[in-house]
Amino acid sequence: MKIKIGILTLSDRASEGIYDDKSGASIKELMQEWISNEKEYFYEVIPDDFELIKDSLIKFCDEYKCDLVVTTGGTGPALRDVTPEATEIVCDKMMPGFGEAMRLESLKYVPTALLSRQTAGIRGSSFIINLPGNPKAIRECLEPVFPAIPYCIDLIGGGYITTDESKMKVFRPKHAIKNV
């Protein structure tokens, strides 16, 4: 089964070409490493603008039918950091445990992890997760929560994600495992 993955980078400077988007590239590398399904990617780099973020999330979920949408950037306390607010506006349900777990994990590395406001939510059959904009923090935040994401996507009617279990082992209750 082909899995559709949206990667949305929120950065004023990267969207202007001032620097390369290393965070979006880090997300794609992890998806390539962990997910064994055939993948189709949808990728955009846009400024930290609430309406643009909201519109892009809706497009990734409703038009492109992404199973998983991963954002990077815009999760801090700065005035232009509005990714969590845009995510909350477009989601049918919020999944606050993901943000809580990511912050807890990040605290092992930096005390400023408490400033991060990343979250996750569901829109239709798409799972959206917000990650920080620091490329190093991408793996640190996503690795501990990713094992729960495929089963969540199962529960909302998205694609069945399989992984290379030598690199990322996902959790599904025994009754939920499909023979793929």
Can you tell me which residue has the tokens 């609430």? 50
Question: Comparing C-alpha atoms, which of 158, 154, 156, 159 is closest to residue 172?
Answer: 154
**Is beta strand 126-131 parallel, antiparallel or unpaired with respect to 120-123?**
antiparallel
CB neighbour list of residue 176: distance below 8 Å, 6 or more residues apart? 151, 154
Q: Which amino acid is at 170?
A: V
* Residues 49 and 176: beta-carbon distance below 8 Å: no
Q: What is the DSSP string of 84-134?
A: HHHHHHH-SEE-HHHHHHHHHHHTTT-GGGGG----EEEETTEEEEEE-S-
| Confidence (pLDDT) at 140 | 95
**Is beta strand 39-46 parallel, antiparallel or unpaired with respect to 126-131?**
unpaired
| Confidence (pLDDT) at 179 | 58
- Given strand 3-10, what is the order of strands in its sheet? 39-46, 3-10, 68-72, 126-131, 120-123, 93-94
Tens place of pLDDT per residue across the chain (180 aa):
899 999 999 998 898 888 899 999 999 999 999 999 999 999 999 999 999 999 999 999 999 999 999 999 999 999 999 999 999 999 999 999 999 999 999 999 999 999 999 999 999 999 999 999 999 999 999 999 999 999 999 999 999 999 999 999 999 998 776 655
Can you tell me which residue has the tokens 């069945």? 160
